[in-house]
Structure 1
Amino acid sequence: MTLPSLPRLPKVVPRSGVSPEARRSLRQLLGDVDRALAVGFQEGEDASALARRRAEIVDRVVVHAWHASLGDGAEAALFAVGGFGRGMLFPRSDVDLLALVDGNSPALARALEHFFACLWDIGLKPGHAVRTVEQCRELAIQDASVFTSLLDARRLVGLPSLGNRLRGILDDPAIWPPRAYLAARLAERDARHARYDDTAQNLEPNLKDGPGGLRTLDAIRWLGRRLANAPDFDAMVAEGLLEPVEATRLTRAEETLRRYRYALHLEAGRAEERLLFDYQRALAARLGFEDEHAKNLGVEQFMQGYYRAATQIERSGTQLVERFEEMLDPATEPQPVGSDYVRYGSRIAPRNPHLFVRRPSSLVDIFIARLDEPGITGFTAETMRRIQHAVSQHGESLADDPQVLGAFLSLLRRGAPAVDALWRMNRHGLLAAILPAFGKVVGRMQYDLFHVYTVDEHTTRVLRTVARFADPAARREFPIACEVWPHLEKPELLLLAALFHDIAKGRGGDHSVLGEEEARAFCARLGLPEEQVELVAWLVRHHLSMSTTAQRQDITDPEVVHRFGAEVGDWEHLDHLYLLTIADIIGTSPKLWNAWKDRLLADLYTATRFALRSDLTPPADSAARVRECREKAMSVLATERVDTDDIARVWAEFPDSSFLRHRPEQIAWQTAAILRAHGATPLVEVHPFSVRGSTELFIYTPDRDGLFATVTAVLDRLRFSVMEARVLVSSTGKALDTFLLLESDSQAPASLQRAEELRARMRHALAQPAGHGPAKRGISRHLRHFQMAPRIEFVDAGERTQLALVCTDRPGLLAAVAQALAEAEVRVHDARIATFGERVEDFFQLTDRSNAPLSPDRRDILRTCLLRHIGPESPRTSVHADANA
């Protein structure tokens, strides 16, 4: 298809205005043009060419409306600004206009009002301003953003003299001189990036304003024009600011983003700049991406194209800023740094410009020198350019060069300081050259809500968290981790495990198994001793085991700890795995880490250390464990001067499982609460900050069917998340229910005020004969795109039946599950709650109302009830999810 030709416009009588008939014709014309351009895009036409053609056509329409509204003699001129000023209009972009006026006559004001109203009427949505040249000058002096907008101003029609006066503002050396302008643009960039978590690797990135977005390319051109009189990439090549290959890469990355933006505007039907989940799948299909397998979806390939383009733009933008800064502040006399490098102020460079090509290991050595030399904050711009040249020239040979690998190992042995170097090596593409497998996950996203960053971004964040364990200032946040770190004999092994733990994502199959193979091969190439190779490979293979054990199993059960300890084997493996697990959770999503998980992992870690210290002797039998818990709880109560006969009377009601599943401190707290109540029920006690950094809720009341549903409905209405539930019954028919809670919004324990509110609301609800139903709340926009059919599995567990439920998270889910359990006439005895992004994995210990395991018929009834209450809300196909914590 050829691009639409420039249209023939209705005849116009100057200053007569655009008639209603002409407006209808113009509106129809613009609609026809937009439809033709959309067809052209679907047929493979270049997005940039289509955007330029739309701008050309809108140019003619706007000028036509100007002549009709103002004629040729008006003391004014019209300028296109923004993207329109740069000669590009995407399908739903605003038409940004600046009207410069020479005077303030009422007639001119009315004519301009009619002009802009006409543009709105024909569907152009103009963003406009009306100013005098003097007003423009005043605003430009005050605000660099206003000055920047004038750089793109393009006169469409009107007095040429106003255009000359506008250029006078831009040519005035006193208005935003180069150093001030660069500082202002960098401040604006930093503020803008901070809104997007300082990374382009977000799940729903902004194509225009996010890091590495189209705004970054605009800023590069603005800086080039103001600082070097080089307004485009070709001019920057001529000025030595860019090399031809760099300009080519930037152009390709820009074309990718423009194509994505064009498709996004068509898909959204509006000027949407965010790659929201609402559009990602449809955009991938529109642009021809197809699913390769369950671990490499078409939508993931589509998003990887964006992330790689944005990374290239962000990398080039950073280097150009360095070149601009050096251009404004010429290098000082070089000072030697060892035998191979020199420093220019705070920047380091190779002494010999050919060093990186002649000795590839120096590519790594310079990052080590940057760490070791005090006061060095970066590389010279030329050095960055030479690093990229050398990486490109050496290619895959770097991965097998013994000297390069030796230098890389030397860097890793720096421990925590090496992490900053690894992050910078990734930005320069060097890390992917040394680890080709890592290059495959650069920009690799996972289409779920659990992993909020691309795999490479996640990996660097994991490494940065690991480095924090070496910082004494982090001891308050990570007390155990900071205590463990100094005892690692070879911290480089943990860094290697962090580098490789997700390196096989997107290949299909188990990424832990495939990653273990990659790690083993690379460590062998590094020349590590066999036992060190095995440790790194084991960590990669088992990097999920500690989080899954802690969140899916009952770690108060010595059998669980014993099995986990047997899997770990020794303290060295446990220490490394504990640190890697914390870093992995934090690096997956900032929202995942909370006091609950901190305490949960710490409890598993300390319990396993004790088991390993005891040479993994089998757990004591249940009678001995009950006896030990009783003795410790009695010691706690003795300090409160509680009568032993009263304690014995209460404990006579408690089943042995109370002493097996609760800590002595919990038993003591529950006992004291029951004694204070003097037999009054319902008893509701709330400990705002109890075990594992959570709020503990204890309920003591006559047991009744549906009690679990009532409790969870109240918790849902109060917006508490249940982390764990223990549902027991005393010998006198009293419920002894314990819930560990966090605030749903903040994932923090309850305040004193909230704890009191919970106590009052729960006591009131339990005093009613009928239970509360769950609150009805709509599912979030994000979750709506990740609906999956629930997976329901039943397993015989002795005298009980275990229900394993995997489904999509949503507000009120647990309350809905409890409602289904009540309808199916099933009793809950224990619950383990775990959430991974949009995916919930809950485990329940159940019986029927006769306290017998569920029969096949009862299981079928429960399955039906669950599907009715928690089935997906929309027929979207399920997506794969990975319980990587």
Structure 2
Amino acid sequence: MSVVLPPLPRLPTAVPRSGVSAEARQALRQLLGDVDRMLATAFRDGADASVLARRRGESVARIVAHVWTACLGDVTGAALFAVGGFGRGLLFPYSDVDLLALVQSPEPARLRALEQFFATLWDVGLKVGHAVRDPVQCRALAAQDASVFTSLLDARRLAGDAAFDAQLKTIVEDPALWPPQEYLAARLAERNARHARYDDTAYNLEPNLKDGPGGLRTLDSLRWMGQRLAHADDLADMVAEGLLDPAEQALLEQSEAVLRRYRYALHLEAGRPEERLLFDYQRALAARLGFEDEHAKNLGVEQFMQGYYRAASQVERLGMQVAERFEEMLEPPGEAVPVGRDFVRYGKRLAAVDPHLFMRRPAALVEIFIARMDQSGVAGFSADTMRRIHQATAAHGDALADDGEVLAAFLRLLRRGAPAVEALWRMNRHGLLAAILPAFGKVFGRMQYDLFHVYTVDEHTLRVLRNLARFADPAAQREFPLGCEIWAGLPVPEVLLLAGLFHDIAKGRGGDHSVLGEQDARVFCSRLGLPPGDVEQVAWLVRWHLLMSTTAQRQDITDPDVVHRFAQVVGNRERLGQLYLLTIADIIGTSPRLWNGWKDRLLADLYTSTRYALRSDVELPRDIGARVRECSEYALALLLDEGHAEADVVRVWADFPQLSFLRHRPEQIAWQTAAILRAHGALPLVAVHPLSVRGSTELFVYTPDRDGLFATVTAVLDRLRFSVMESRILSSPTGMALDTFLLLDADSQQPVSAARAEELQQRLQRALVQSAGVQPSKRGLSRHQKHFQMTPQISFHAAGDRTQLALVGTDRPGLLAAVAQVMLATGVRVHDARIATFGERVEDFFQLTDRHNAPLDAAQQDRLLHALLERIGPARD
């Protein structure tokens, strides 16, 4: 949309060296405000952000020059330069105004005039960053610091002595200052350090538009390298120098336009120089820029963020490639070494022998990535070859997805197993993966607006593939012994890699992505030429890729019925192993914070018990009596080895409910029994095992049962910052509570130290002795949590002689303790709890009765429902 901008307001006449009066300052403030309001209106009406940023740069430059004249007059021996973005003529609504004053002889009078100048700029409303130097100092600093030298590349004189232009040019063009090799190394080091501050990815949930990977700073850096290394002042000059092709230039300019538009809108929305797309602004920005919800799985804010991710990833991809081209430009070409019939190696670069190879034979697009895998020490492709890969990929377009030879080469690549993953990453960086697999291109930059998925779908998918490849690495043996063992036995690793590629490929379409992804996988794998059995295996893994994690985290995997139902869906050991590997890779690839020792053991236990259930001679769950006997016999053997008398053990077990032996491991039964024996009847008994089952800390409470016990325990756990992973609330025939909690430290998500375990034991012991209940601590929501609140979904279901409550909602500090307090206040008893947290989302299940141990009737359920919604509903401001 073309928007006609009115001319900039006229400035008052400046009287040299008279300074700026209070009335004139007010007039300049008014003028600056008028300009900013005019530009904000133009942006709202659809004006181009780059045009507006340049218009603001022009207006501020005029004001700055006006104030310079008023404070210093037509001075010789001093000049004022714009640097940074201002030097390039761009100022976003709240950008800093970066200035460099060069002075030949900084005598006191001139320094006082400069102080007056800068103070006046601040007074009229400009946020100024400034430096005052003489040319000798300027050169010395530029020689020491590449960032200072770089700032001079954009320097633009606004006022003062024109003789300084030549002096500054002398510094910038001095070949002794930052020669090309050194300058390139410095710029790449700065890039790596900057990216490390932002988790080395353009896919953060709250990305930095300016300094993050793929941000506007990346484009600035390309221009700086072009200026210093190739005398190319802009992208068009870089095309002329062969560092970019016209299509790449167009892509960079389109991406830059998106980033500038988002940055302009962000400044206006925040009302300050904010560069991060914080959750605080994302929804408002999406609305401001015209994005609307398509359906529940394609929100306007998700489309808005996808625009950012696509632009940033394009900039980052091309930025990396252009940097490689600069490196190649500065390296002497190596001796040509043939690599097969189609490729040749020059030092660390691989190239095509025939410049028309990729157009003539598209399968070579995949084959060159296979060839790179086989060449140790290769850093990349030659600049010309990279360009030809891009040109051929664009020229062939959708035809690559239907080319039989291309698909055959792609299958050969996948059959390399784990090493193929890095090749897939590189193919994605060159845009080739999306061309061969168009459905993958649809999720390029696709995000989900929550705290659970911290990467876009395409980035997540590639990370899942890398996680799968780790199972082939001997170095991962200590961390994933079972996973490495399973991977080593895979007959066809390409099946698992394809499942990883397709497991989330249908996200954002509005339906069940597992079902839609299964359909996509079946079609592609058939076209790929996989045997029918392998096609079915890939499709099954995509369809059920969430089954193992949901079963482990939401159901009681110590219940043989649960394991049996899971085993029936899985069907055989080969699928079980592949599903186990895919589940781990998926969890870690969703967010590194989601993986911990607890989930490691939980999935390993489900794998082990399911593998046993899939034996040909085990078709049904074992008899309950047999399971109880097996557990008790093993636990008794452990206790006897510790020196306990069998008669004492039998006496304690006489008051253990049968469920203890069904729901706990023998090691837990033995530890709990030993704790009771050591207490010699002293109650309440609180025992803490720092490192118990599944890499968790175990808390065991043995005391006369009473209402409010669960609420007291969870309140203490909340105050001490423990996360409850699982709880077992059991009652003995004589009315004793045998409550077990499996815990992790809330901050580290790891088992706790012996000191922390002792603190928990002492604090809880004191709390249980007190008659008054313990209240949970009061902690507010984090800034992130405030943006992802949802009304809890609460449902009730009959569960034998109990009522099951399912709670799905937003996680928040003290949630479980608050739920326990509500249940206590409404006369509800908790008999079991299953806790699962997914990012900001919780899915908790409780087995409940009233105070007479009867299921909850409709009135009690309704009372509990309303009390929970009142207590744990979305927080009010």
Normalised by the length of structure 1, the TM-score is: 0.98
Q: Which amino acid aligns with 1:809?
A: D
1:150 CA displacement: 1.0
The match for 1:309 is 311
Alpha-carbon contact 2:563-2:613 (below 8 Å) kept: yes
1:40 CA displacement: 0.1
The match for 2:649 is 647
The match for 1:531 is 533
For residue 800 of structure 1, the aligned residue among 796, 799, 802 is 802
For residue 292 of structure 1, the aligned residue among 294, 299, 319 is 294
The match for 1:769 is 771
1:709 CA displacement: 0.8
Alpha-carbon contact 2:243-2:383 (below 8 Å) kept: no
Q: Which amino acid aligns with 2:786?
A: R
Alpha-carbon contact 1:415-1:491 (below 8 Å) kept: yes
The match for 2:792 is 790
User: d(CA) in 2 for partners of 1:375 and 1:451?
Assistant: 35
For residue 691 of structure 1, the aligned residue among 674, 693, 715 is 693
Correspondence list, 1:160-239, <5 A:
160-239=162-241
Q: Note the aligned Cα RMSD (angstroms).
A: 1.0
Structure 1 residue ranges without an equivalent (≥5)? 876-885
2:778 aligned counterpart, secondary structure:
coil
1:874 CA displacement: 4.2
- Comparing 550-559 with 374-383, which one deviates more in the overlay? 374-383
User: d(CA) in 1 for partners of 2:555 and 2:293?
Assistant: 34
- Comparing 92-101 with 540-549, which one deviates more in the overlay? 92-101
The match for 1:25 is 27
User: d(CA) in 2 for partners of 1:244 and 1:642?
Assistant: 82
User: d(CA) in 2 for partners of 1:627 and 1:712?
Assistant: 32
Identity of aligned residues (%): 73
2:593 aligned counterpart, secondary structure:
coil
Q: Which amino acid aligns with 2:281?
A: Y
User: d(CA) in 1 for partners of 2:718 and 2:56?
Assistant: 52
User: d(CA) in 2 for partners of 1:784 and 1:12?
Assistant: 51
For residue 152 of structure 2, the aligned residue among 144, 150, 164 is 150
Q: Which amino acid aligns with 1:227?
A: L
1:615 CA displacement: 4.0
Q: Which amino acid aligns with 1:791?
A: Q
The match for 2:396 is 394
The match for 1:593 is 595
Alpha-carbon contact 1:79-1:155 (below 8 Å) kept: yes
1:591 aligned counterpart, secondary structure:
helix
User: d(CA) in 2 for partners of 1:750 and 1:35?
Assistant: 56
The match for 1:504 is 506
User: d(CA) in 1 for partners of 2:448 and 2:350?
Assistant: 37
- Comparing 778-787 with 488-497, which one deviates more in the overlay? 778-787
Alpha-carbon contact 1:787-1:874 (below 8 Å) kept: no
- Comparing 43-52 with 9-18, which one deviates more in the overlay? 9-18
Q: Which amino acid aligns with 1:403?
A: E
2:202 aligned counterpart, secondary structure:
coil
User: d(CA) in 1 for partners of 2:112 and 2:655?
Assistant: 87
Matched, 1:437 2:439: yes
Give CA-to-partner distance per residue, 1:350-395, whole Å, 9 cap, x none: 1111111111111001111111123323111111111111111111
The match for 1:520 is 522
User: d(CA) in 2 for partners of 1:696 and 1:790?
Assistant: 29
The match for 2:256 is 254
- Comparing 834-843 with 103-112, which one deviates more in the overlay? 103-112
Give CA-to-partner distance per residue, 1:605-658, whole Å, 9 cap, x none: 011011112544211222221121111110110100101111111111111111
The match for 1:51 is 53
1:613 aligned counterpart, secondary structure:
coil
User: d(CA) in 1 for partners of 2:876 and 2:239?
Assistant: 52
Q: Which amino acid aligns with 2:370?
A: I
The match for 2:142 is 140
For residue 754 of structure 2, the aligned residue among 752, 757, 769 is 752
Q: Which amino acid aligns with 2:539?
A: A
1:6 CA displacement: 2.5
Q: Which amino acid aligns with 2:46?
A: G
1:731 CA displacement: 2.2
1:448 CA displacement: 0.7
Correspondence list, 1:601-612, <5 A:
601-612=603-614
The alignment of Structure 1 onto Structure 2 pairs a total of residues equal to: 875
2:614 aligned counterpart, secondary structure:
helix
User: d(CA) in 2 for partners of 1:26 and 1:459?
Assistant: 53
Matched, 1:277 2:276: no
For residue 627 of structure 1, the aligned residue among 626, 629, 632 is 629
1:317 aligned counterpart, secondary structure:
helix
Deviating 4+ runs (over 6 angstroms) = none
Matched, 1:674 2:676: yes
For residue 456 of structure 1, the aligned residue among 452, 455, 458 is 458
Matched, 1:86 2:88: yes
User: d(CA) in 1 for partners of 2:318 and 2:812?
Assistant: 41
The match for 2:242 is 240
1:738 CA displacement: 0.5
2:177 aligned counterpart, secondary structure:
coil
- Comparing 328-337 with 596-605, which one deviates more in the overlay? 328-337
Correspondence list, 1:333-348, <5 A:
333-348=335-350
1:869 CA displacement: 1.1
Q: Which amino acid aligns with 1:854?
A: L
- Comparing 489-498 with 141-150, which one deviates more in the overlay? 141-150
The match for 1:817 is 819
User: d(CA) in 2 for partners of 1:374 and 1:153?
Assistant: 44
Q: Which amino acid aligns with 1:275?
A: L
User: d(CA) in 1 for partners of 2:349 and 2:75?
Assistant: 58
Alpha-carbon contact 1:206-1:274 (below 8 Å) kept: yes
The match for 1:479 is 481
Alpha-carbon contact 2:683-2:702 (below 8 Å) kept: yes
2:444 aligned counterpart, secondary structure:
coil
Give CA-to-partner distance per residue, 1:381-420, whole Å, 9 cap, x none: 1111111111111111110111111000000000000000
1:104 CA displacement: 2.2
Alpha-carbon contact 2:8-2:35 (below 8 Å) kept: no
Q: Which amino acid aligns with 1:115?
A: F
Give CA-to-partner distance per residue, 1:777-814, whole Å, 9 cap, x none: 11011111111111000000001111000010111111
Q: Which amino acid aligns with 2:509?
A: R
Alpha-carbon contact 2:444-2:458 (below 8 Å) kept: yes
User: d(CA) in 2 for partners of 1:868 and 1:774?
Assistant: 16
For residue 410 of structure 1, the aligned residue among 388, 409, 412 is 412
Give CA-to-partner distance per residue, 1:748-802, whole Å, 9 cap, x none: 1101111111111111111110111111111011111111111000000001111
Normalised by the length of structure 2, the TM-score is: 0.99
1:333 CA displacement: 2.7
Correspondence list, 1:35-114, <5 A:
35-73=37-75, 75-114=77-116
The match for 1:879 is none
